[in-house]
Amino acid sequence: MGGHGAYVWSSYAITLVVLSLNVLQPWLARRRLVNEEARRRRREMN
């Protein structure tokens, strides 16, 4: 890689982290929303 290996591999790592966050963040937000809605419904039924 002509001495640029550290930059190339770090850019791959950063890309992987960003893509992972783009997948996980909406999934976690949806899960949190579903849990809050279930909690709200239980509270209203009592």
Read off the pLDDT band of 7 (50, 70, 90). very high
pLDDT above 80 for 46:
no
Average pLDDT for 6-22: 98
Q: Is 3 helix (H, G, I), strand (E, B) or coil?
A: coil
Average pLDDT for 10-29: 98
Cα separation, 39 vs 46, in Å, equals: 11
Average pLDDT for 22-29: 98
Structural contact between residues 8 and 1, judged by C-beta atoms closer than 8 angstroms: yes
Number of neighbours of residue 22 by Cβ within 10 angstroms: 9
- Domain spans in the chain, listed from the N-terminal domain onward: 1-46
